[in-house]
Structure 1
Amino acid sequence: MDREETLAWLRRISGDLATATLRRLEESLPWYAEMPPARRSSVGLVAQAGITSFIQWYDDPESTPWIAADIFAAAPRELLRSVSLQQTLQLIRVTVEVTEERVAGKGEHLREAILLYSREVAFAAADVYARAAEARGLWDARLEALVVDSILTGETDEELPSRIAALGWHGHGEACVLVGTTPPQFDVDQLRRVARKLGVDVLIGVQGSRLVVVIGRAQPSGRPGEEASAELSFPEIARQLEPGFGDGYLVIGPPVAALVDASQSARAALAGFAVARGWRNAPRPVEADDLLPERALAGDPLARQTLVERIYRPLLAHSADLVATLWSYLDNGRSLEATARELFVHPNTVRYRLKRVSDVIGWDATGPREALILQTALILGSIGPAEVRRRPAPVRRTHATERSH
C-alpha cells in the first residue's frame, strides 16, 4: 500500500486498535484492572489519544512536539497522581505491542514509524511527570517555609496540622527547634539524608543568614534497626546535623510534646541564639536552657520565668535552709569552709545540703557555669514578680473647687 492507502486503513482500524488495547491492558496489567471505572476510562482516553495522534503524526512527522503533548492533555490532572511514570511506560508498551501485531505485514516502514513515535511519546511522558514533580517540589518548599514561619512566630491556626500532614511528616513524638547560621553553600538534600539516616523528620527554613530546623523524633515503628535511632536524644541528633550548618553558634530549644507545640521550643531557641555570644566558651550545639542567665539579662520573660519556677520556687518549697546555704555558698566564692563559718555548721553539712540542692532541681552548684545559673535564679526569685503600680490620676481643680477650699 502507498502512504495514502496506509493512512486510510489506519483511520478505519483506529477504533478496533483502541478496543484491543484496553482489552490487553486488563489482561496484562493488574493495576489497571483494579482501578475505579472513572480512572480506567481516563486511561482509555490516553490510549485512544495516542493512537489518533500517531495517525496524525504519520501523516505529518513534523507535528511530533505538539501531538505528543496533546496525548496527556486528554487525561484529567488527577490521573498524574494515581498513575506512576512506570505504569505510564507500561501503558505505552502495551499500546505499541497491540499496534505492532495489527500492522504486521503492512511494511517495514510502518513498523519503524511506530517505534520512532513510541520513543517520542515516552520522552513526552517523562517530561510531563518531570514538570509535575518540579511543580510539586516548589509547592512543598513554599508550604514548608509557611509551616516553619508559623512555628517561629507562634501564629498557629487550625490548618497547621493539615499542612504538616501534607508535607509527609511521620513524627508523632516529641519535637524541638534547632537554630544556627546558613552555610555559604547550603546543601539541603544532604541535611535531609542525614536526618533520614537518624530516623527523624525535619522541616527546614532558610531565613537569610539564619537556618532553622524543626526536628521530630518519631516513635519506633517496630522495623529492625529503627529503635536505636529513635532512642537518640535531641542534643545527640543536633550533633549529627551540626556539619550542615554554617560557622557560629548552634542553639537547640527544649523538647515539646508535639510538633504543633514547637513554637515554645522555637521561642527559646531564637532567644538563646540572639545572646549565645555572651557565653565565651559555649559548646556547639548548646541547649537554650543552658543560656538562661544571658537570656534573662537580655530581658527574655520566658527565661526569667523558667529560672524562678524551676530553681527558686522548688528550693524554697523544699527547705528555706537550702536557699540560705546556696546563697551563702555562692556569695563566698563557692568555698565550703567560708560557708560553714557563716552558717555556724560543719563543712560536711554544707556539702550535704548542696547535694540536696542538686537532687531537688537537677543543677550542681559546684560547677562554675551552673553556679551562674543558680545565682541568677536566686536574684530573680528574691526580686519577685514585677508589680505595676498605677498612680492615681490627678484631680483637675476648677475655680469652684478652689473657692470651696
Structure 2
Amino acid sequence: MTAEIRGARPPQLSSRQRSAMAKRLTGLASAMAQAATAEMEERHPWFTALDADNRSWVAVIARTGIDGFVTWFGDPNSSAQGLDIFGHAPRALARHITLHQTVELVRTTIEVVEQKLQELLPRGDRPIAQAAILNYSREVAFAAAEVYARAAETRGAWDARLEALVVDAVVRGETDETVLSRASTLGWASAQSVCVAVGSAPAADNPRLGEELRQRLGTEIDVLLGVQGDRLVVVLGGEQIGEPEGSIRIVDRILDAFGPGPVVVGPTVEHLVDTIGSVRAAMSGLRAAVAWPEAPRPVLADDLLPERALAGDGHARRALARDVFQPLQQAGGGLLETLVCFLDQGSAIEGASRLLFVHPNTVRYRLKRIHEVTGFNPSDARDAYVLRLALTLGRLIGS
C-alpha cells in the first residue's frame, strides 16, 4: 500500500512560531494516536473483529499519519512533505479493509486529533492547528483513494490474465479441476447449459469489455471471454442457454461486442468441462461461414453443417450422416426414396408422384414425415441443400 501526501501546505507562520508549535504537537502525538486507536475500537465493531496483526498495522498507519502531520507542519520544505503514510502497511491489508472502512478510520482519526488539539493546545494555537489538520486530512483522503485505485487496477489486470488463461484452456480442451477452480474465482457458477460464441475481435481494444457484457447480461448468465489473435471467444453459461434458441437470443444481446463478419454459436453442452465440443463446432463454423455469406448473424454452428463438411470437418460429415441420413433410412415407409426422387425432380411434387407411381398427397405426406424425422423441410431451398449433402455423405460413410 503506497501513496504520498503532496501538494498541501500548512498555514503561513514564522519559522520560530512553526518550530515552537511543532514541538508542542510532537508532545501530543503519542496521546492522540492512543486516543484514535481507542476510539476505533469503540466506534467500529469490524475493527475489533480484525486479527491482532491487522489491528496493529492500522494503529501503525494512524500513528504514522499523526507523526506525518507534525513533521509536515514543522517543516513543509523537507523531504517529510512527501511522507509515505500507507507505505508501512503490507499490501495484504487492502484485502482485509475496504475503502469504505478506510474512510471511516481516517474520519475517526481526524475527529480524535481535532478534539485533542482543542483540549490540549493553548487557545492561541487552536485555530491554526484546526486549519492545518483540515488541509492535511484532505490529502490523506486522496492518498487512501489512490491506494485502493491502484489495488483495483492490479486486481483487474490479474483477473483479465486469469480469464484469458481459462478461456485458452477451454479452447484447447484442457478443462480440468484447476481450470474449474480458476473459473470459479472469476465468478463462474453455472453447472449446466454452456455454449461458446466465436467471431472476429473488435478493432478497438476495450479492457472493460468483459465487465460491460456481464452488466448487460445480468447475474443469471455467466461470461468468460478472451481475445485470441483476431478472434473473440465468449463462453456463456446459465439455464437460459439450455432453452430452445436460448443461446442465439443471448448472443444476439452482445452481438456488438464482436467485430465485423460472422458470429458462430456452438451447440449447448451440459458443463464447462464438456465445452470443447461447442468450441470445436464454433471454430469450424467460423472458418466455413465464408461459403454462406447470406447466413444470419449470429448463426448456429449446426446450421453450417454442409459448409463445415465441405471444408473438411469430419465431425460435421458424421453428424449429417448420423442425424439425417440414418434416421431416414431406419424410418422406412419409402421416405428415403421419396426424398431422392423429389430432389431429382427439382422439388416438384407432381413429377415425384409420377415416378413413384403414388398419389401427390402421398408424396406430400412423406415430405411432412421427412421434416418430422430430420428437422429439415425438403421444400425449403436451404434445407434441401442440407438433405442432399446428407444423402451423399450417408451413402459414402455407409459404404
TM-score, length of structure 2 as denominator length: 0.85
Aligned: 1:196 with 2:211: no
CA 1:205–1:126: 2 relative to 1, 3 Å: same
Aligned: 1:13 with 2:19: no
Offset at 1:43?
2.0
Q: Deviations over 1:239-282 (max 9, x none)?
A: 22222322221211111112332222111111111111111311
1:134 paired residue among 153, 159, 162: 153
Q: Hey, what's the Cα distance between the residues in 1 that align with 2:295 and 2:207?
A: 26
Higher mean C-alpha displacement, 32-41 vs 329-338: 32-41
**1:256-335 alignment to 2 at 5 Å?**
256-319=269-332, 321-335=334-348
- RMSD between aligned alpha carbons? 2.6
Higher mean C-alpha displacement, 280-289 vs 232-241: 232-241
Q: Which residue of 1 aligns with 2:354?
A: 341
Q: Which residue of 1 aligns with 2:3?
A: none
Q: Which amino acid aligns with 2:363?
A: V
Look up the SS of the partner of 2:350 in the other structure: helix
Q: Which residue of 2 aligns with 1:245?
A: 258
1:178 paired residue among 192, 197, 205: 197
Q: Deviations over 1:359-396 (max 9, x none)?
A: 2232222211111112212211111169xxxxxxxxxx
Q: Hey, what's the Cα distance between the residues in 2 that align with 1:85 and 1:242?
A: 35
Residues 173, 217 of structure 1: 8 Å contact kept: yes
Aligned: 1:208 with 2:221: no
Offset at 1:194?
5.0
Aligned: 1:48 with 2:67: no
Offset at 1:184?
2.8
Offset at 1:61?
2.2
CA 1:320–1:329: 2 relative to 1, 3 Å: same
Aligned: 1:158 with 2:177: yes
Look up the SS of the partner of 2:225 in the other structure: strand
Q: Which runs of 5+ in 1 are unaligned?
A: 221-229, 387-405
Residues 100, 114 of structure 1: 8 Å contact kept: yes
Look up the SS of the partner of 1:101 in the other structure: helix
Q: Which amino acid aligns with 1:323?
A: L
Q: Which residue of 2 aligns with 1:73?
A: 87
1:375 paired residue among 388, 393, 396: 388
Q: Which amino acid aligns with 2:112?
A: V
Q: Hey, what's the Cα distance between the residues in 1 that align with 2:211 and 2:115?
A: 48
Q: Which residue of 2 aligns with 1:90?
A: 104
Residues 201, 218 of structure 1: 8 Å contact kept: no
CA 1:143–1:320: 2 relative to 1, 3 Å: farther
Percent of pairs with identical residues? 46
TM-score, length of structure 1 as denominator length: 0.84
Query: May I ask how many residue pairs the two structures share in their alignment?
Result: 375
Q: Deviations over 1:319-346 (max 9, x none)?
A: 2632222222222222222222232222
Q: Deviations over 1:207-260 (max 9, x none)?
A: 33322222223579xxxxxxxxx9981111222222232222121111111233
Q: Which residue of 1 aligns with 2:7?
A: none
CA 1:280–1:5: 2 relative to 1, 3 Å: closer
Q: Which residue of 1 aligns with 2:365?
A: 352
Q: Which amino acid aligns with 1:273?
A: L
Look up the SS of the partner of 1:384 in the other structure: helix
Offset at 1:93?
1.0
CA 1:38–1:315: 2 relative to 1, 3 Å: farther
Offset at 1:179?
1.5
Q: Hey, what's the Cα distance between the residues in 2 that align with 1:210 and 1:116?
A: 51
Q: Which residue of 2 aligns with 1:394?
A: none
Offset at 1:76?
2.5
Offset at 1:100?
1.0
Q: Deviations over 1:132-173 (max 9, x none)?
A: 111111111111221222222223333111111122224343
Residues 71, 80 of structure 2: 8 Å contact kept: no
Q: Hey, what's the Cα distance between the residues in 1 that align with 2:74 and 2:231?
A: 59
Structure number with higher relative contact order (C-alpha < 8 Å, ≥ 6 residues apart):
2
Residues 191, 244 of structure 1: 8 Å contact kept: no
Offset at 1:192?
4.4
Residues 197, 234 of structure 2: 8 Å contact kept: yes
Q: Which amino acid aligns with 2:388?
A: Q
Offset at 1:186?
5.0
CA 1:9–1:191: 2 relative to 1, 3 Å: closer
Residues 180, 273 of structure 1: 8 Å contact kept: yes
CA 1:65–1:141: 2 relative to 1, 3 Å: farther
Look up the SS of the partner of 2:190 in the other structure: coil
